[in-house]
Homo-oligomer: A and B are copies of this chain.
Amino acid sequence: MLKISKKADYALMALQHIASVQFGDVTPGRVVNTKEIAEEYNIPLELLAKVLQVLSKQGLIESHNGPKGGYLLARSARQITIAQIIESIEGPLAITDCSHEKDGDFCMQREHCNIRTPLLKIQDSIYQLLNNMTLGDMMGGTPLITIQSPAAQGVER
């Protein structure tokens, strides 16, 4: 059903939370630890920890060790796109198996496959969609998302 995984969900929630604390009015610049997020959103602590580790390794957030430690956004919320977040957790967007096939690495039906090209177009459109929306947009502040999907420029129907 084209679902995104729970881990990715958790990643989005966590990043939204971190961003809102970091740029919020109350305690701006404060680091946020795993436990705080887990409790706020009822996310299993250990699982969330792993998600945050991945995000950290991917360079979306910075980790600070030790007591009083926690996580911080690595860049501005406007510079983190939804696509980046989801791909950090789930790997490259691939609507269909043959999306990133190298030469000589075909699926069984590739030979006469008639749907690869259109599917890749669709995939590209979805990617544009996700990549044109940032964490900043998600937070309400000033929602400026502009989607001009390139794949969409086709003829009208």
Contact = CB atoms under 8 A, between A and B. Distances in A.
Stoichiometry (number of copies): 2
Interface in A62-110: 82, 86, 90-97, 108-109
Given A17-B114, A109-B41, A155-B138, A3 B126 contact: no
A139 interface: yes
A47 interface: no
A1 B90 contact: yes
Given A3-B94, A122-B133, A140-B156, A13 B114 contact: yes
A28 interface: no
Count class of interface residues, chain A: 35 or more
A2 interface: yes
Interface of A: 1-4, 6, 9, 12-13, 16-17, 20, 40-43, 82, 86, 90-97, 108-109, 111-115, 117-119, 121-122, 125-126, 129-130, 132-133, 137-140, 142-157
